[in-house]
Amino acid sequence: MKGQQGFIGTSHQAHSEHHASWLAAAWHTIRRWEQLAYEREQLARMSDEMLKDIGLSRGDVMEESERHFWEDPLKK
């Protein structure tokens, strides 16, 4: 019976770790979405001269700012 109790405890621990891992991944995703929204907002506020300095046009910025918050250009 001792072995069974340890098995149940281990199973519960694995479930808890999986749950914690899932929550961490969800939190990371939400933070990334916030970061994308912030960066797109900052790009939209830049002057045409500033955009030219970084090699972007107003059209590039408009296209990027119209994307949905969950559209991450770094995720393929």
From CA 9, how far away is CA 57, in angstroms rounded?
58
pTM of the model: 0.66
Residue 56 is assigned to a structural domain of this protein: yes
Classify residue 40: in a domain, yes or no. yes
What are 15-63's pLDDT values in tens digits? 678 778 999 999 999 999 999 999 999 999 999 999 999 999 999 999 9
Q: How far is CA 67 from the centre of its chain?
A: 15
| 72 within a domain of the structure (yes/no) | no
Could you tell me if residue 8 is inside a domain?
A: yes
- Name the residue range of residue 56's domain: 2-65
User: How many CB atoms within 10 Å of residue 43?
Assistant: 17
- Per the structure, the count of domains in the chain is 1
Q: Per the domain annotation, does 75 fall within a domain?
A: no
Collect all residues with Cβ–Cβ distance below 8 Å to 14 and sequence separation of at least 6. Answer: none
CB under 8 Å to 62, separation ≥6 — which residues? 44
In a domain, 74, yes or no: no
Does residue 73 fall inside a structural domain? no
Q: In whole angstroms, what is the distance from residue 57 CA to residue 76 CA?
A: 24
- Which amino acid belongs to residue 76? K
